[in-house]
Structure 1
Amino acid sequence: MQQQTFQQKTALIIGGSSGMGKATAQLLLSYGARVIIASKSQESVTAAVKELSAFGAVEGKTVHLANASNVEAFINELDTLGPIHYLVNAAGFFAPKPFLDSTPDDYDAFLDINRGFFFITQAVARKMKAIGGGAIVNIGSYWATRAVKATPTATYSMAKAGLQAFTQQVGMELAADHIRVNAIAPGVVETGVLDELAGSPEDAKEVYKTLHAMHPLGRNGRAEEIAATIAFLLSDDAAWITGAVWDVDGGMGAGRN
């Protein structure tokens, strides 16, 4: 991959303080990019910036995607950040719940994230258009288009399917402005996303062990593997790819064990 692609360029990573977003931030920093990470928790942003600063020039911002006024304030702040060449929409969470038990609050918790993504992406795309182009990657999900009975995720799947459809539509609309928009659809990736759901990081590790066998390749994914795919899609090596949703799922897109 053309690592020089990222040198002296700026990447904004929404959800960059943990998991796949943080791994992507670390990789892009190692390639010479300036990285701005954003998350809703000031504590997590501060900790991530401290850790990531060992790899390069990183800044931290806070934004609560489900809070419309907070998103608007963040968008206004974008004007102070200079040119943005890359955007990664990586924020999210996973909370299986049966459809018949789901509440309006459950629905809003997932779909409001997409609203935040929508308008932040719009603002960043305008900045990209002004500098002649850019690249955007959204993190979707295997569960956006496929169902797993053991993990009922109607609200989550609806949100991720919408994000992937958004990727294709916006990829088409922004192509003439030299802005590429792609997405990845991960399978099970071992991050901290299950810690609270399982009860503790130790309990989450036990849950993850039970999920290896779902994947034809025999194991769950790692955050750095997702980061490598995101970096490729952002890079000049992917210059002829837009509006695509890539399965990065250990083979589950072909079929589950």
Structure 2
Amino acid sequence: MKQALIIGGSTGMGKATAEILLATGIEVVIVARDGDNLHAAEKELSHRGKVRIFPVDLSNLEEVKNFAEKLSRELPELKYLVNAAGYFKPKSFLEHSLEDYDIYHDFNKAFFLITQAAARVMKENGGGSIVNVGSMWAKQAIKATPSSAYSMAKAGLHSLTHHLAMELADYNIRVNAVSPAVVVTPIYSSFIEADQITETLQGFNSFHPIGRVGTAEDVAKTINFLLSDETSWVTGAIWDIDGGVIAGRN
């Protein structure tokens, strides 16, 4: 059975992607910080197919290294990887602390190490597909949501996508990324009450030329498309899944 690893698959885009993959008969392995969301996702998704969870704090280097070291043993049939974990809390550049900076860049360190381990398994398996979840903020600064460290980290993830696409092509491993704009997911719970996220984000509908904010499913469908053989001639792409924001705004 083919295996898919989703980093940050307990909520939002990662979880929505897991639902699609499970429906196609792929075993899904979710990595996320231990907690209610992770175990709730396991319980819900297990009704859809074979799913396993690994509690890993991505800000804890030792936990990340331990998981990376055992990845080949735990996922010998790995074909797909999605790096979807994230955090977002707007704060002005002059108020950013080192701790704020580290929150964002620790994710990239974890992605780097886990992706390296995953790519080694994919190489042995004759190929695979990787999708990174980047961000519109990596391409365009929005004054109303100052996010210098977040955007810097996401731009780095976009760059990593390009470099890995070149380096891993020899092993039949494709590497792409999606670049979403405002999407209704729990990532905003750092500064919006969880039960108010959907309503609050409706204020950003007109920010998008298509007239609405995105859903986790909007992005997950594109992630699944990029993972699949339907896009077998696509690698190194950063796809804007943003309701037209990069093209222009109302």
CA deviation profile, 1:1-59 (whole Å, cap 9, x unmatched): xxxxxxx3110000000000000001100111100011012432211010001111101
Does 1:58 pair with 2:74?
A: no
Partner residue of 1:104? 98
Structure 1 counterpart of 2:77, which letter? P
Does 1:178 pair with 2:176?
A: no
Question: C-alpha separation between the residues in 1 aligned to 2:184 and 2:196?
Answer: 13
TM-score in terms of structure 1 length: 0.95
- Residues 134 and 179 of structure 2 are in contact (CA less than 8 Å); yes or no, is this contact kept in structure 1? yes
In the alignment, which of 230, 248, 252 is matched to residue 245 of structure 2? 252
Runs of 4 or more above 6 Å deviation: none
In the alignment, which of 185, 203, 219 is matched to residue 191 of structure 1? 185
Partner residue of 2:217? 224
Partner residue of 1:209? 202
Closer, same or farther in 2 for the Cα pair 1:128/1:63, shift >3 Å? same
Q: CA RMSD in A?
A: 1.0
Give the share of equivalent positions with the same residue, in percent: 51
Structure 2 counterpart of 1:59, which letter? R
Determine helix, strand or coil for the equivalent of 1:78: helix
CA deviation profile, 1:112-166 (whole Å, cap 9, x unmatched): 1100000100000000001110000000000001011100000000000000000
- Residues 158 and 177 of structure 2 are in contact (CA less than 8 Å); yes or no, is this contact kept in structure 1? yes
Does 1:90 pair with 2:84?
A: yes
The runs of 5 or more residues in structure 1 that have no matched partner are 1-7
| Greater shift in the superposed pair: 95-104 or 41-50 | 41-50
Deviation at 1:83, TM superposition (A): 1.9
Does 1:11 pair with 2:14?
A: no
Question: C-alpha separation between the residues in 2 aligned to 1:215 and 1:43?
Answer: 33
Deviation at 1:79, TM superposition (A): 2.6
Question: C-alpha separation between the residues in 1 aligned to 2:195 and 2:109?
Answer: 33
1:134-145 map, 5 Å: 134-145=128-139
Partner residue of 1:3? none
Structure 2 counterpart of 1:21, which letter? G
- Residues 89 and 190 of structure 2 are in contact (CA less than 8 Å); yes or no, is this contact kept in structure 1? no
Partner residue of 1:157? 151
Question: C-alpha separation between the residues in 1 aligned to 2:189 and 2:95?
Answer: 22
Determine helix, strand or coil for the equivalent of 2:129: strand
The total of aligned residue pairs comes to 249
Deviation at 1:214, TM superposition (A): 0.4
Determine helix, strand or coil for the equivalent of 1:228: helix
Deviation at 1:80, TM superposition (A): 2.3
TM-score in terms of structure 2 length: 0.97
Deviation at 1:204, TM superposition (A): 2.0
